[in-house]
Amino acid sequence: MLTIAADPKHLGARIGITAVLHTWGSALTHHPHIHMIVPGGGISRDGTRWISARPAFLLPVRVLGALFRRLFLTRLRALHDAGKLAFFGSLTHLAERRAFLRHLSPVRKKRWVVYAKPPFAGPEAVLAYLSRYTHRVAISSSRLLRFDEAGVTFRYKDYRKAGAGRQQVMTLAADEFIRRFLLHALPRGFHRIRH
């Protein structure tokens, strides 16, 4: 965001961002994505004036997606080359560099999705929505229905369905529930919120 916003071809300004990492889907699946609050413009490069974005348009999402993909994959390869990635089980073969690069090959061609929209209900609604995800992990107690010999039963939303059918109930074996929950416990020193 900072790189594309600073480019004079786009906004040509230094922007502010509050970003929150959100790693889960409603069914505790691994769905890492970032929510950001970004003002509708930024400070000029010389620091003397405010530059407003065009109405309902901040930055080109396809350009953002392509840059994020390149940066992410470049840094992932660097971690692999430095021996800082560990692979277990059926993924142990990815420790070998050529196998790792082959595994990443399809991802290089895929479009990475960036979705941006103005805050339709205003900034207060955006902050209220985002604040619900800043200090909790994956599931709230109110969604837990029971825990018994069958497993853990909880409510989730199936976003592929509309209306009343969207609310669903799922039961997972206890070990699978714990596995899914722990996917969202961040490593020590990792920051969920960045400004």
Phi and psi at residue 17, in whole multiples of 5°? Answer: -145, 140
Residue linked to tokens 């560990």? 86
Residues of the chain with pLDDT under 70: none
CB atoms within 10 A of CB 4: 19
Using alpha carbons only, give the angle 20, 132, 134 rounded to the nearest 5 degrees.
Answer: 35
Q: Cβ distance 1 to 41 under 8 Å?
A: no
> Can you tell me the distance from the alpha carbon of 109 to that of 165, in angstroms, rounded to the nearest whole number?
35
Q: Where are the domains of the chain?
A: 60-115
Contacts 24+ apart (CB under 8 A), 28-32: 28/138, 28/139, 28/156, 28/172, 28/177, 28/180, 28/181, 28/183, 28/184, 29/180, 30/180, 30/183, 30/184
> Can you tell me the distance from the alpha carbon of 41 to that of 59, in angstroms, rounded to the nearest whole number?
10
Q: Output the pTM of the full model.
A: 0.74
Four-CA torsion 14, 16, 20, 26, nearest 10 degrees: -90
Q: List pLDDT tens digits, range 84-127.
A: 999 999 999 999 999 999 999 999 889 888 888 877 787 788 88
CB atoms within 10 A of CB 30: 10
State the pLDDT at residue 16: 94
Using alpha carbons only, give the angle 13, 18, 21 rounded to the nearest 5 degrees.
Answer: 130
